[in-house]
Structure formats: structure tokens, C-alpha cells
């Protein structure tokens, strides 16, 4: 099987012979698909794909995702080495360079949202997002983390650096808190499709973590997942919790931070819808069906409702006695809707 480790391919890369490297990638991927299937082919050819996405001119690098080469030759959204190949590409070039070149809609969308996370405002320079997720960062998205830490930093010959997912990261600002009794009562649990969508949205962000939803305040939700009633915990602004929620979706190498941003907007939209039209910034049922600016039908997001929810959200975080290298312990409370959600889990590298 052809991989980047082959000396011949290294020589081609050093000589800038990118068309030949792309041809080798396509040939190797198609052969691997025929022999071992799509998943195995993606893994075997990923190192060479990473090199092309990282170092090739954008006019050639985007052709990794072009199906014109024939069956099995094109990378998909799940092809990854240190991270998704489309995310590697998105960290290397601006949207202005990539927009006229990118073809497949799923790849194009993820690249666009990666560029948004990196600080580009595409609200007037790209096609609208199909779910209505804004193509520029809201102030609360931008304020919680440095631009350089929002997406993995990829290395030329493979590998990447990324900020660790740790919330809480330390005991700073936290104190001893006694959580309420965690007796699970059916009548204390929200029900209905909106509650299910909100909970599913959080679960999709961090499939390695447990999630719950309760009628009540954030500590009551935390109590269902915390190991002990007495914890070291405290409240923090949602803007400081936002980076961890986005990164939660990108703990594995197959997904990028764009997945996290899109998933979190879906979850927040479902949470906001539970508060009803009387919430600050809320709208009526007709508006939720897509008749207001920023919404896109039942599966879209309402930008105004999400911003209003974030403005009033109360976020509670707590420490656990033992946590993996990646860990997330967070409860989110909407005081208007009287509903709280919690997500808690840890994962070793």
C-alpha cells in the first residue's frame, strides 16, 4: 500500500510534484477500497492525504475531495490522520482562496465553519448555512478563548497540537458546594420532543460523556451525575464553557471543531425552544417554524433565541476525584424555562 512513508513520495513532496502525489493518493485509495473497504482505505492513505492538504497549493489540495478521479479515489468528511483532512486544509488557506475551488457541499460547509472559528466573517462572503448557523462568531463565542487555540495546530509531516479539553481546568474560582439530593423522580424530568432534541444535541457533542435533563436548577442536574453530594464547584460565564463544549466533539481525530460548533448551535436552539415564547428574545410557534430571520424550519436554529438563552444561562461546573486527560463536568440552567441540563465524563488519550 502506498503511504507517505515511502521514500519515493517523500522525494516528490520535496520537489513540489503535487500532481504526481495526488495521483498516487487516488491510486492507493481506490486500490485499498477495492481490497479492504472504505474505512481501511481512509486510514491507510491518510498520512499522504494530510501532507497534500497541508502543503500543496490550494488549487490542488481541494482535489483530494473531488470525485472526478473515479470510484474510491476521493477523501470524505471522515478521512483523517491527526485530524480530518478538510480541517487541515481549512487551517492553511483563507475562505477567499478556497471558496471558488471547493466542490462537495459537506466538505465546503465544514471548511467554512472552521474558517469562522479562526476569526473570518463569512456572513457576506459565503452561501447561507443550511441550518441557519451564523457564519460569523457571536461575541460570546469569540470572548472565551484565543484564536490560536480554537482549532488544532497541524504539523507538516503529520500530527497536531491542540488544547486539552478540561472543564473545570483548576480549582481557581471554585469552592465547596453541597449538591441537592439526587433522587430521580419521573415528574421532575422534562418530556417531549424539544427536551429530547436538546438532550440528544448535548449527547452528540460528547458521546463519551453522560447527559441528563431536569426541571430545576443547575446543581440539581449536576447531582444526578456527580459522584458525591459535596463537590468543589462554582458558576462561570457561558463564554468560558463554550470552548470546552466545542472541543468535546473533536476529542477523536475523525471530527473537527466545526462539528462541535454546529452541534452546539443545534443543542442551544433546542434548549431555547423549551423556554417558550415568553422568554426574553423568544418567539411564537409560527416564528419557530422558520418565519423569522435566522431560522430555517424545524431543523434550523434561531439566532435571536440562542443569543437570548446564552445571555441568561447559568453554568455550573464541578471537579471529580479522578478525571481523564479530557474531562467535562458542566450543568447548564435556563432560569426562564426552569430547565437544566448536565454533561459529565472523562476520557484518556
Q: pLDDT tens for residues 132-182?
A: 999 999 999 998 888 888 999 999 888 898 877 889 988 888 999 999 986
Mean pLDDT of the chain: 87
pLDDT of residue 296: 38
Long-range contacts of 137-140 (CB under 8 A, 24+ apart): 138/307, 138/310, 140/238, 140/239, 140/242, 140/307, 140/310
Mean pLDDT score, 244-250? 90
Is it the case that residue 13 has pLDDT exceeding 60?
A: yes
pLDDT of residue 283: 47
Q: Is-contact 166 330, C-beta < 8 A?
A: no
What's the number of domains the chain is made of? Answer: 2
CA distance 265 to 258: 11
Same domain, 192 and 251: yes
Is it the case that residue 243 has pLDDT exceeding 80?
A: yes
Same domain, 245 and 179: yes
Mean pLDDT score, 32-50? 94
Mean pLDDT score, 60-65? 97
Is it the case that residue 286 has pLDDT exceeding 60?
A: no
Q: How confident is the model at residue 321 (pLDDT cuts 50, 70, 90)?
A: confident
Give the structural domain span for 151: 7-161
Is it the case that residue 79 has pLDDT exceeding 90?
A: yes
Same domain, 308 and 194: yes
Is it the case that residue 288 has pLDDT exceeding 60?
A: no
pLDDT of residue 281: 44
Which residue, 135, 161, 187, sits at the end of a domain?
A: 161
Same domain, 157 and 203: no
pLDDT of residue 54: 96
Same domain, 190 and 339: yes
Kindly give, in sequence order, each residue whose CB lies less than 8 Å from that of residue 125, ignoring residues fewer than 6 positions away. 95, 96, 99
Mean pLDDT score, 95-108? 95
Q: Is-contact 98 111, C-beta < 8 A?
A: yes
Asked whether residue 2 is assigned to any structural domain, the reply reads: no
**pLDDT more than 70, % of the chain:** 89
Amino acid at each position: 500500500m502506498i503511504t507517505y512513508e515511502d521514500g519515493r513520495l517523500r522525494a516528490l513532496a520535496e520537489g513540489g510534484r503535487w500532481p504526481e502525489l495526488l495521483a498516487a493518493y487516488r491510486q492507493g485509495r481506490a486500490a485499498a477500497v477495492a481490497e479492504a473497504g472504505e474505512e481501511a482505505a481512509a486510514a491507510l492513505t491518510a498520512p499522504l492525504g494530510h501532507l497534500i492538504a497541508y502543503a500543496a497549493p490550494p488549487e490542488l489540495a481541494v482535489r483530494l475531495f473531488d470525485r472526478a478521479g473515479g470510484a474510491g479515489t476521493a477523501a470524505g468528511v471522515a478521512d483523517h490522520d491527526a485530524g480530518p483532512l478538510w480541517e487541515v486544509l481549512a487551517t492553511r488557506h483563507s475562505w477567499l482562496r478556497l471558496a471558488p475551488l471547493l466542490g462537495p457541499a459537506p466538505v465546503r460547509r465544514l471548511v467554512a465553519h472552521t474558517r469562522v472559528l479562526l476569526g473570518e466573517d463569512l456572513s457576506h462572503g459565503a452561501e447561507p448555512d443550511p441550518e441557519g448557523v451564523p457564519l460569523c462568531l457571536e461575541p460570546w463565542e469569540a470572548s472565551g478563548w484565543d484564536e490560536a487555540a480554537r482549532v488544532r495546530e497541524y504539523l507538516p509531516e503529520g500530527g497536531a497540537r491542540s488544547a486539552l479539553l478540561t472543564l473545570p481546568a483548576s480549582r481557581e474560582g471554585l469552592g465547596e458546594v453541597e449538591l441537592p439530593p439526587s433522587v430521580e423522580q419521573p415528574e421532575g424530568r422534562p418530556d417531549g420532543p424539544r427536551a429530547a432534541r436538546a438532550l440528544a444535541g448535548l449527547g452528540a457533542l460528547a458521546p463519551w460523556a453522560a447527559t441528563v435533563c431536569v426541571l430545576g436548577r443547575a446543581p440539581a442536574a449536576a447531582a444526578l451525575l456527580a459522584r458525591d453530594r459535596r463537590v468543589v464547584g462554582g458558576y462561570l460565564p457561558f463564554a468560558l464553557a463554550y470552548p470546552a463544549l466545542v472541543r468535546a466533539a473533536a476529542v477523536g481525530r475523525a471530527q473537527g471543531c466545526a462539528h462541535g460548533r454546529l452541534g452546539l448551535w443545534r443543542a442551544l436552539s433546542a434548549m431555547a425552544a423549551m423556554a417558550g415564547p415568553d422568554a426574553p428574545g423568544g418567539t411564537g410557534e409560527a416564528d419557530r417554524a422558520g418565519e423569522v430571520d435566522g431560522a430555517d424550519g424545524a431543523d434550523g436554529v434561531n439566532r435571536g433565541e440562542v443569543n437570548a438563552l446564552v445571555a441568561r444561562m447559568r453554568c455550573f461546573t464541578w471537579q471529580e476525584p479522578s478525571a481523564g486527560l479530557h474531562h467535562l463536568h458542566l450543568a447548564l440552567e435556563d432560569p426562564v424555562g426552569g430547565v437544566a441540563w448536565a454533561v459529565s465524563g472523562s476520557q484518556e488519550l
